[in-house]
Chain A
Amino acid sequence: MAELEISAPAVGTFKHSLTEFWRYFRENPGAVAGLYFILLVLFMAIFADVIAPYDPTEQNRDALLQPPVWQEGGSWAYIIGSDAVGRDLLSRIIYGARFSLFIGAMVVTLSMSAGIMLGLTAGYFRGRIETAIMRIMDVILAFPSLLLALGLVAILGPALINAMIAIAIVLLPHFVRLTRSSVIIESSKEYVIASRLAGAGHMRLMINTILPNCMAPLIVQATLSFSTAILDAAALGFLGMGAQPPTPEWGAMLAEAREFILRAWWVVTFPGLAILLTVLSINLMGDGLRDALDPKMKRS
């Protein structure tokens, strides 16, 4: 049989779809602002060694709890102040960007790849395997997310890597459900049937034919999960079950700062602000992505 290539519908050239995507995305000023902020955080994370004025763990006994430069007693040596053991807060926050972005990227990669595999299997093969997978996902969803992550960390032991695995498991059902429902819808479409008639095997149908057409909602979900991952990891760090001191992870920094809240507002304020702005930017970007990738889903 001659090579019969049946491509999925609505696949223009890559460059064309990218331009179109950017046109939609640009319409949303919040999303663009979010994108720029994330690029800034990414820049901070990559070039932390160059930008940060100090080493994040370097202690200075002569500069304990120094206030920010604009406040009385502050100095340009520690622009946004120093913490209880004399570490530069700004440097720690800059290095912290590495952890947050790394956590988000790792968790999303883990959760999304496992979720797509399970969801694809459930939606494509249906039947018992689907029931089994979906019931397990229901069980995961029955636990409040942070509580389940805490329970898993209690089993695995408190460490950043375990916190990331725990969060990836907690986020898994969202990817599985989303993939499964898109796969079910796509599977009954004509291009899939045509491809099957042309003799495509299960793997080819699942991965080459169906999956690319289910990606749009998954990308949006990935963005949302990225921000959830950062928030949850920070919460675990704050509770002492995630990154351990002296790691300059933003949540763990807040945990260390807690006892000084009424004496030194800056050690509490800035790490949290970094979390909030990063998460907010990603969420803004997620809104923009959703509108741009799938105009049908556009919120009114």
Chain B
Amino acid sequence: MFRFLLNKLAMIVPTFIGVTIAAFAFIRLLPGDPILLLAGERGVTPERRAELEQIMGFDRPLWEQYFSFLGDLMHADLGVSIVTRTPVLEEFLARFPATIELSFIAIIFAVALGLPAGIIAAVRRGSIFDHTVMGVSLTGYSMPIFWWGLLLIILFSGTLGWTPVSGRISFMFFFEPVTGFMLIDSWLSDQAGAFKSAVMHLILPSIVLGTIPLAVIARQTRSSMLEVLSEDYVRTARAKGLPPWRVVGIHALRNALITVITVIGLQVGVLLAGAILTETIFAWPGIGKWMIDSIFRRDYPAVQGGLLLIASIVMIVNLLVDLTYGLVNPSIRHER
């Protein structure tokens, strides 16, 4: 297991270096003069320009600039946002809990519906239920989620008036953030109705964000279950006279879950990409919306830092998924 861990870590290091190079190159690849971009509309005098070049380090050779960029990274220094003048990392961390909260509820929604749907579809293979699950999940997989969000707003917020259109909580409530997670903070605030308001604000965005993972999980669960259900040991379990729910729920499911869990882990990238669209539609103040806003405001240090942080998160989660997979499935550890 230790060797396996080392191997995986050795694989990730070059990728991480590649990601830092990509993030470093990002600002330098932007069209136009970075100093002018940073200076904004007013432009700069030649003296100020030389001064800025020295401050930003643009007068030094490229490799030196890259290593000082890496050095700053080691000190958790991702630069300062041009627009707000606050450190990029601080901005990111302030918004990250909103995205985690949304993604977490979305993945719970996806697993809670997708897992049972996939299991039942596999057990009743060829039934109407099976065809419905497969049809619905392919539709979900093909869904432009930004449109799906707008449709849900039309129906539930517009016509029915059940859910709010945007934000994390009603303007009526105000309390100091403790954890940054609105569900927990509103619960702790002891204000009547605050928790309910937070829940209502979460429903539509998490359905929207959870739709594609839901489709993927349902399809994957079904196909892994079908594979496992045709195995010899399942037949043995049936032959022993075990009740069907026990065969399916314990013998088969436990093995089918290995691949399903991997697939769930791999949804993190999907969630973070989906968060950009979902947060834009619902004005959800998370990192997805922050990235979009930063791109539009040409706040390039923020975009650079955001790209780097998000890629690192995806890489770390994928590594953890790989390791868990190796842990539950020993045969994978000894491959090559």
Contacts and interface: CB of A to CB of B under 8 A. Distances in A.
Interface of A: 30, 135-136, 138-139, 142-148, 150-151, 154-157, 227, 231, 234-235, 238-241, 251, 254, 258, 261-262, 265, 268-269, 271-272, 275-276, 279-280, 283-284, 287, 299-300
A143 B314 contact: yes
B14 A151 contact: no
Nearest to B315: A142
Given A146-B277, A150-B276, A154-B295, 4 more contacts: A135-B18, A143-B307, A261-B154, A300-B223
A251 B4 CA distance: 45
Nearest to B30: A155
16 contacts: A135-B18, A138-B18, A142-B15, A142-B311, A143-B307, A147-B291, A151-B307, A154-B303, A234-B144, A235-B144, A258-B150, A265-B158, A271-B147, A272-B151, A283-B142, A284-B138
A147 B151 contact: no
B31 A155 contact: yes
B153 interface: yes
Contacts of A300: 223, 226-227, 230
A135 B150 CA distance: 39
A69 to B, nearest CB: 20
Nearest to A149: B273
A150 B19 contact: no
Q: Chain B: interface residue count, which band?
A: 35 or more
Contact of B277 (A151, A155, A238): A238
A142 B142 contact: no
B270 A144 contact: yes
Interface string B288-302: 000110011000100
Contacts of B146: 234-235, 238, 251, 254
Given A144-B270, A234-B144, A150 B295 contact: yes
Nearest to B292: A239
B269 interface: yes
B277 A239 contact: yes
A3 to B, nearest CB: 40
Contacts of B29: 155
Interface centre among A136, A146, A268 (most CB of B within 10 A): A146
B107 to A, nearest CB: 15
Nearest to B226: A300
A139 B314 CA distance: 11
A150 B31 CA distance: 15
B18 A268 contact: no
A267 to B, nearest CB: 10
A265 to B, nearest CB: 5
B310 interface: yes
B303 A142 contact: no
